[in-house]
Amino acid sequence: MLTGAGISAESGISTFRDSDGLWEQYKVEDVASIEGWYKNPALMTRFYNERRKQLLDVKPNEAHRILAELEKDFDVTVITQNVDNLHERAGSSKIVHLHGELMKVTSSLDPNNPNFIRMLGEDELEVQIGDKAADGSQVRPFIVWFGEAVPEIERAVILTSQADIYLVIGTSLNVYPAAGLLNYVPDEADIYLIDPKPVPWNSGKRFTHIMKGASEGMKELKQYLYKDE
């Protein structure tokens, strides 16, 4: 399954492209591009410190919880574009974070080297300019920015190509390569989309659109998944 900002909206985290979204308040290139980091690492560090601290004030919602509960009856892998930790906190056990994780930092010289990726503790939410990674470079958020490769996409493609049921929740499908995953869903898989708005769907594959918010949509999805019982 593929999730986007919409699944965390009901927990109080803004989406990016809705009318009250983050990209109305900030310029993407200032806070979410590699050029932005080179230009103003202090601004980027502050922006992600704020977003990381927000995680203390939010909780997983019903949609995250239902997804985690589905593991009782299904082999569920969550591929998420979200950098929050709400899927983990709801209890999902297999999660691929395509765009990185707010609670991790890494080396600014070699960001995808596992030796330098570090989970922050709850008392380390504020990273400073001057904090060093294990290779001695400035610490940076472990976030995939525009202009950077998406190392987890290969794993996500393999997992997607093995799906019997594919669920897409709360993503505007604007950002590639994540949106391109739909091309790898097997033709015989059942595809469900949960989003209160129409979403540009370029894959040509048939899908069932549950036009609701994530929590209500997940309740309805359960009826489809358990219809034979």
Catalytic residue IDs: 99
> Would you say 71 or 148 has its CB closer to ligand OAD?
148
Question: Of the ranges 41-49, 64-72, 189-197, 221-229, which one interacts with ligand OAD (CB under 6 A)?
Answer: 189-197
> Residue 160: how many CA atoms within 13 Å on its side-chain side?
26
Q: According to the 3-state scheme, what is the secondary structure of 144-170? A: CCECCCCCCHHHHHHHHHCCCEEEEEC
Q: Which two tokens stand for residue 183?
A: 């091309």
- Interface pick for ligand OAD out of 1, 10, 36, 44 (rule CB under 6 A): 10
Give the residue nearest to ligand OAD (CB): 6
Question: Of the ranges 3-11, 50-58, 122-130, 184-192, which one interacts with ligand OAD (CB under 6 A)?
Answer: 3-11
> By CB under 6 A, what part of segment 80-119 binds ligand OAD?
81, 99
By three-state DSSP, how is residue 103 classified? strand
Is 177 among the residues that bind ligand OAD (CB under 6 A)? no
Is 5 among the residues that bind ligand OAD (CB under 6 A)? yes
**DSSP H or E stretch at residue 88:** helix 86-90
Kindly provide the b/e burial profile for residues 119-144, where b requires at least 16 CB atoms within 10 angstroms of the residue's own CB: ebeeeebebeeeeebeeeebbbbbbb
Write out the residues near ligand OAD by the rule CB under 6 A: 4-6, 9-10, 15-18, 21, 32, 81, 99, 144, 146, 170-172, 174-175, 194-197, 199, 213-214
